[in-house]
Chains A and B, each alone.
Chain A
Amino acid sequence: MQFWIIQGLNSLSLGGLLFLLSSGFSLIFGLMRLANLTHGAFFMLGTYFGATAMRAYSGLNIWVTALGAGIAVAAIGGLFERLVLTRLKTNPLGQVLVTLGMSFIISDACLALWGGDSIPVPTPQNLQAPTRVLGFVFPTYRLVLVGCAIAAAIALYFLLERTRLGAMIRAGVDDRQMARAVGIPVSNLFTIVFCLGAGIAGAGGVLGGPILSAYPGLDGDMLPLALIVVILGGIGSLLGAFVGSFIIGFIYTFGTALFPELAYIILFLPMIFVIAFRPQGLFGRVGA
């Protein structure tokens, strides 16, 4: 019983982390029709920024760090979008290839700057004490992470559904040409959304840091998870990313605990299943 509850909570926290990773990916894909393969690298960059900042200034608040790292990564993403991606507007394949190239550049730069050893991100002190859930002790921080993901989901929902910016983004997702025709600056929206997506990934990287820590190859570990989540949930759908994250969180955690060697294959079965019967994903409206 203890095993199931503890692993269930672990699944929830991994699901939360995956949502922070994949919501930005899904957002970018929905508006820009761009599979942003730099996303794993943005996440890793956030983790490294957080680890460095919190090591340099001990006692630095993790929320402030996440915000700062998120802004820094968003700025890098914005530059990349403005300087490179906008030039390739008419070449969607080229866009994917440059995001792949960029991910190689970032991950190699991280290896050059921070070396090959993993750098831990400290857990916030006031969250270090374990919490008792149904009589079982569980790390508080992991529970807080689930709260973060839910808060981020609600904030994104309100941004997309209740603000003017969100209305413009939705218009761009539905019909880009029509949105341009009625005077929505779609090109600026692209930059905003790309920054936002990169920023969420960067902040998520810091928040995931206490669990994952920063190490070379983190990007390569996270990118397939993001891909699987959005393919499962439906590309471009926020709800899909949310549900998909928690499904994958559960499958991956229980898979690793029960069949450690097969976890990678188990992770991938629901994706095959969904693609076979519903190619657009669980909550997607159109196929990719």
Chain B
Amino acid sequence: MKWIAAALLAALLVALPFFAGDFYVNLASQILIAAIFALSLNLLVGYGGMTSLGHASYLGVAAYISALMTSRYGWGHGPAALLSILGTTAMAAFFGLIALRASGLGFLMITLALSQVLWGLAYRISDVTNGDNGIAGLTRPMPFGFSIDSAASFYWFALIVAWFAFLMMTVFVSSSFGSSLKGVRDQPRRMAALGFNPWMIRWITFIYAGFWGGIAGLLYVYYNKYIHPTSLSTTSSAEALLGVIAGGSGTPGGPVVGAALVLLLKNYVSAYLERWNMLLGLVFLFIVLVMPNGIVPGLSRLLRRGSR
């Protein structure tokens, strides 16, 4: 039953561009990108118990490196993508060294402060990042010689990447390393007593999450062909965190659902009114007060109760 549902879903996702218009295909591409990003944050928040409020740093920095290298220094997309992922991962390793000196609220505050610094830099070093104007006129790469300029081809490209990301992150958390990560989240002292190194486990997870955040950032900049400091802002981190928590942190599918909901809400609301940030705040209050475990765990509990 489960396999049939999964196969149906996969077929539906692959076939989407054949029956949906470009608008919806583009929306689906954006959801895929947001989903990869939320999944990477979920590794920290859900499985590692490390609530980061600075995850947009990885998305934004990867996007900025790729944008700068291709537009300003005339690099090809391949080397630019490689440098941007390497750079983002190295940054995650460095930020992890700082942020993991603390845990809990201290960790949250440090990640927030670090990301604010990057956001401020993107605004202020305007002769490199072009400041508030952002960097426009970017191009999409041609993976293996295929053009991904049309809505449908980009969607398939994003779908392949998202599928691979989902697989890699699911393998990560269901591996024995993932079990030790969950152990460190729940009982760090016992894990230390058993001979595990909680710090190292957290650090590796932090770097891995930064890596996938960077992948999401590359897709983000390929999709938009434009990058602006707001993608590094707290709002951007908070949207991802809201997606993770609304969907259900610590579940494999929850963040995907949550990210999709946040993105749809944002798209439909911004079409009608300007007050997206206020709505984001209200949704935050609502989710935390009413559905602290998220939508997916809540629904699956209901389903289980129904089938019993």
Contact = CB atoms under 8 A, between A and B. Distances in A.
Contacts of B241: 97
Size range of the interface on A? 35 or more
A170 interface: no
A287 B102 CA distance: 7
Interface string A250-265: 0000000000110111
Contact of B288 (A97, A108, A261): A97
Interface stretch (B138-146, B178-186, B272-280): B272-280
Nearest to B285: A101
Contact of A103 (B109, B275, B281, B282): B281
B194 interface: no
A235 B109 CA distance: 11
Contact of A276 (B101, B109, B283): B101
A98 to B, nearest CB: 5
Nearest to A109: B278
A102 B277 CA distance: 10
Contacts of B275: 108, 112
Contact of A231 (B51, B106, B235): B106
B105 interface: yes
B116 interface: yes
A146 interface: no
Interface stretch (A9-17, A159-167, A183-191, A266-274): A266-274
A100 interface: yes
Contacts of B53: 37, 100
- Majority secondary structure of chain B interface residues (helix, strand, loop or mixed): helix
Contacts of B17: none
Interface string A39-72: 0000000000000000000000000000000000
A96 B108 contact: yes
B102 A105 contact: no
Interface stretch (A86-94, A120-128, A130-138): A86-94
A98 B289 contact: yes
B109 A275 contact: no
Interface stretch (B20-28, B63-71, B120-128): B120-128
A224 B113 CA distance: 5
B112 interface: yes
A87 B290 CA distance: 11
A86 to B, nearest CB: 11
A275 B281 contact: no
A227 interface: yes
B105 A97 contact: no
Contacts of A98: 284-285, 288-289
A201 interface: no
Interface string A224-239: 1001101100010000
Contacts of B109: 35, 227, 230-231, 288
A107 interface: yes
Nearest to B120: A264
A145 interface: no
Nearest to B94: A272
Of A104, A223, A271, most buried by chain B (CB within 10 Å of CB) is A104
Contact of A97 (B101, B245, B278): B245
A97 B45 CA distance: 13
A264 B116 CA distance: 9
A272 B98 contact: yes
B286 to A, nearest CB: 9
A100 to B, nearest CB: 6
A220 interface: yes
Contacts of B280: 101, 104
Nearest to B122: A264
Contact of A105 (B105, B282, B289, B292): B282
Nearest to A228: B113
Given A94-B292, A268-B117, A102 B281 contact: yes
A5 interface: no
Contact of B277 (A107, A265, A275): A107
Interface in B6-64: 51, 53
Interface of A: 29, 33-35, 37, 84, 87-88, 91-94, 96-98, 100-105, 107-109, 111-112, 220, 223-224, 227-228, 230-231, 235, 260-261, 263-265, 267-268, 271-272, 275-276, 279, 287-288
16 contacts: A91-B288, A91-B292, A96-B51, A98-B289, A100-B53, A104-B235, A105-B281, A220-B233, A227-B109, A227-B112, A231-B106, A235-B106, A260-B124, A264-B121, A279-B102, A287-B102
Given A112-B275, A227-B116, A235-B106, 14 more contacts: A37-B112, A84-B285, A84-B289, A92-B104, A92-B105, A94-B289, A96-B105, A100-B284, A101-B282, A227-B112, A231-B106, A261-B125, A264-B124, A275-B102
